[in-house]
Structure 1
């Protein structure tokens, strides 16, 4: 697996992108605000990450004063989780928030049991959206996934198991620290979306997995960068296009996705710096 990732790193421009992303995360790591206030900044990163991930799912509740403010209120208990339980958009948003919040407790050691991590994240994302017998497990024969239709028909259960095996193998390399973290995060993310192992919630789980790998793998050890915002820039059109290119299976398509992810991590670190600046200034609630 390490050799395969090294081959990907040799694709034109990828190594430079990885270095630029690593430098951006290193600069964020040493921000003055993160000397003493990492938990506060990391919590806001999860708030902003959940809002961006929900936007990518098309779950932006109408009439709210802003998804980020709404997510922040949900997390701190100012709004009840079941406040709009009859609204399907609200239920998706709540699932995204729960899945993003669940990433906080996933450690590098947890990734030694990657199937359990994926099951936990999927349960958080879809526990209120699917019948309980479909929550936390891959699709079975006869079960369809209608997400990401632009990528073509979702693979059948046999291919799903094969590709999930690849994702499990990738994630299990993170604790050993012998693989490029950004490439592990990028490939795991794209494989989950393109294989669509779950009936629902594949994109939410994929973005949560990326957040976990970047932090647990040490690229963003404080967890303050916001990778979801990196993907959601320009209304997510680059994100969906790059995933479509990856799903085609060509070397150029994979390269395009990896370059997108490297640039997204740079933007994620820039968003993390905005958060750290706001924490330092004591104006976190006013951050937009």
Structure 2
């Protein structure tokens, strides 16, 4: 058993964490029984991914209207042939979020493969081909998420990524919320890729929530939950996880629980709109 697995097993004893786990489970269960999800799961799940992609891009500073994101997501309009930084980041967010649907069947049994596929999706618009779909090599740096402090060197980042993989393989050792939250924070803070780390972290979290059974329909918009305040608040919570010791880890876990509950409420609004035939009016 890895150190990370042992650490996650103990997190439920932190003040408020066990209750947060139960609150998230209840919110996701309520969403699961929404009338729209009896027959119209694909429609609701697609809109969830659209809104998740927008929120993920927003957190990267690439704020684009939801109608534009939806049209790009479903291929109704073409991507610019000469994209600027905003379009590149948006495309990375859209592709990673879309790919989360396809890797959720792999994420628990082959997490390394799922991570590689998500990074191919997120990294292709951002990086040269030879840096896509793999962790950083020795000598390669990452200059993302500088608010968290300097990125670990490549060897340390790969070691921590291996810990993430081991944690996911042993996902039955802790509640799905804790696994997803810690994996999200570990990828973002270790920064194992040259670029696209937070995008991959959020897409991987989405896949974990679905594959782990907390959100089996894939309608929770966890990304929107993380973006519900501001990117500054999101980065602040990640910074607490990275450098705040046990208190900081607890803060991140509670913040993640609130984000997923907010994501479940966003999913319920999507379901209401699906039933009313008014998804574009959300």
Q: TM-score range by the shorter chain?
A: over 0.9
Residue among 87, 91, 95 paired with 1:94: 91
Deviations 1:1-25 (A, max 9, x none): 5553231011000111111111000
Matches within 5 A, 1:140-151: 140-151=137-148
What residue ranges of structure 1 are gaps of 5+ in the alignment?
none
Query: Cα RMSD between the aligned structures?
Result: 1.3
- Cα pair distance change 1:101/1:181, threshold 3 Å: same
Residue among 103, 106, 120 paired with 1:106: 103
Q: Distance in 1 between matches of 2:257 and 2:140?
A: 34
In structure 2, the residue matched to 1:35 is: 38
Q: Distance in 2 between matches of 1:145 and 1:5?
A: 26
Matches within 5 A, 1:1-288: 3-61=6-64, 66=65, 68-81=66-79, 83=80, 85-174=82-171, 177-287=172-282
**Residues 33, 276 of structure 1: 8 Å contact kept:** yes
* TM-score normalised per structure 1: 0.93
**Residues 5, 180 of structure 1: 8 Å contact kept:** no
* TM-score normalised per structure 2: 0.95
**Residues 45, 218 of structure 2: 8 Å contact kept:** yes
Q: Distance in 2 between matches of 1:94 and 1:194?
A: 23
The alignment covers a number of residue pairs equal to: 279
Q: Distance in 2 between matches of 1:107 and 1:209?
A: 8
**Residues 157, 192 of structure 2: 8 Å contact kept:** yes
